[in-house]
Structure 1
């Protein structure tokens, strides 16, 4: 039932923050004698509670909760030969509890029991006991209600504890597990992990991630986040994804987007789509974009085609400029002719009108002459008519 392990441990009880106390003291055997690093089990190296108590307890306050591994108790034993030497009589039927409430404020029902000794008279338990106690707690409490029969001849009564040294262990920072036999991952920063779960305490060293830093981020050129494993910085040209573990389409030109995998600079001839995973009909050098139903020119990545395209654009620009100048000259030439012709037509019309006017004058003169002749005739006839009655 009892065991000794050479696995690496840390002795919490020897930390400067640890406080030891006992229910009462038989002077000068104070509680501090049980936490001084001296492993002797003779009386002068041990703590000692007072007499005539119904319950005696010894407590180790670790200051905060820890994942405990084991507790080792060194009980008083004076000498090994003489029958008169004092043995570990008073250690019968003690029990070991752990709790997050101190012994002065807790009942045994509020604690976690790690061990109970069931030795009865006249047998004796071992005076050095190493007890496994894989619990999370702040207080370690040794307690007894046993009244040793060997005290009766000396008129000594009550429950008594005589602890010479108590050692409370947790795994050291580089080991974990119930027996501290498991070593923290070498990829843990400072080689340090939780002594119960093995999770890396301070994260991972560069190039690794995971709860125990067991996963390498080899695909990340600039390393990865030690908690999530996501790559920091860009992926290699042919990779994408949070972990740079996905491969870009081989039909992409100049790689793909780190996050989405969409092609940066379009597709190789014959392919289209964000991921260049759709095939074009290259017979007519045009490609139908199935998402927009528009026709688009199949892109050609060669420099020769680019030069040809630039040349065509330049020629078109020159042609447009020349045609524009020609059209402008023609329009201006036509606009100038109408200003001369009307002047000539006006002059001709004026001459025609003058001739017509003169002709009318001549005709009028002739008409007047006729009128004058008629007048002379008329006036003579009238005179003749007036002269007739006189005759």
Structure 2
């Protein structure tokens, strides 16, 4: 509300001020010992100095809750403590609500030293309205245990005086800095924030107000952060990586490898045979041994070329194009060499057997497979094939499917089982090499090597013995037994006899040809005669020009026909 002082005609205003709780500061003047230069009395009742520290901020003097002096060079003082010194910089004064001019020349002293107020924090008694209460803030913190207020006049009226210092746990000129002591029960220096126990974890510097530098944490910032995710920093008190760890590290500190990771920067993954085993986080060693396909220190190396499996003890199969197999299970991912069976390419495909599966099964019965190692047809052979491999024909048979029968071979029924040739020649009367066909005409004997020598040179002799029905050309000779036998031409005369026989046959053929030609000529002439008679008959019935006779026409026609 606004009031007017009738004696001075100056306007002033009173603000009812009940500050909210301020945990950072406390009033150390409350109910402390106070004294003043004199006591003003009304009706025999004095306005004591203690009324200014009783906690009542009523500014109406008539309610007798304000201190009041009554002599020149008036002063008022409060003793804050007998021994302890305080850091003092803020004083709040509640003045009486009237007679404002009595406050001219008001000063505040701390242990006798003048508190030089910051500009704008003391009442301008001569110019303009003043807010009540009056906050006085010293330009610097003053150390002391008593506060004195003086005026140049005789009537000093103080309804309440509050001296603020930092609450325990706070410090600084504005008490806006919180203590950061390692011992949480310690009260730091309320001016500097110094802690006898040292700074709390995560803090350092003057007054322990600075956070640890990037990458450090803990008491005295003496610990190094772990491998936090990305470039994030750890929590400054306990080192926790709040955004997680880099790959391979274990939260919350991210300093040790996560389970199943090891090595520098935890960058290597365990490769143990027992998948749930946690390997040594330094070396990667596994008590269960390395998993399939891995070997070496820390089980980080693949099996060498051509090996796979546990301890790399298995050998790869016949993979295609010399490619390596899968190191875990031995599978040939690019296929097998010809004749081998996926996925390992170690067994022969159906129909092949032997080293490198290079041999093809024979003609097993019913197209059944043979043994992939020995090649034996377990169910027997197709007809006419010889057991146990069923690759060759039985004796007396030949050709691809052994369906052909050998000819009349000498010294038994056996022939070459592929070609059918009689390797020792044919029986007498059969022609090599198959010995199936009889000897040609005019030949006889073993392999048809003999030539007939019959008296009738066109006679075909017996193809086994060479005997002739008409007898032989040579005279008979008497055998040791006295019987007559034909004397066969010797080998030196065989060629001459054959040539003679061929000439005879050619002469016969020539005579036959001449007879055929003569017969055809006779028939042709007959046909021409018949044709001419028929034409004459036709032209006789035709009208001819007077100058031409039918004979002429026929003659002309005949000439034409001859042409």
User: By the TM > 0.5 criterion, same fold?
Assistant: no
Task: Give the TM-score, by structure 2 length.
Answer: 0.29
Pair member with larger Rg? 2
- State the TM-score, normalized to the length of structure 1: 0.41
Higher relative contact order (CA 8 A, sep 6+): 1
More helix by share: 1
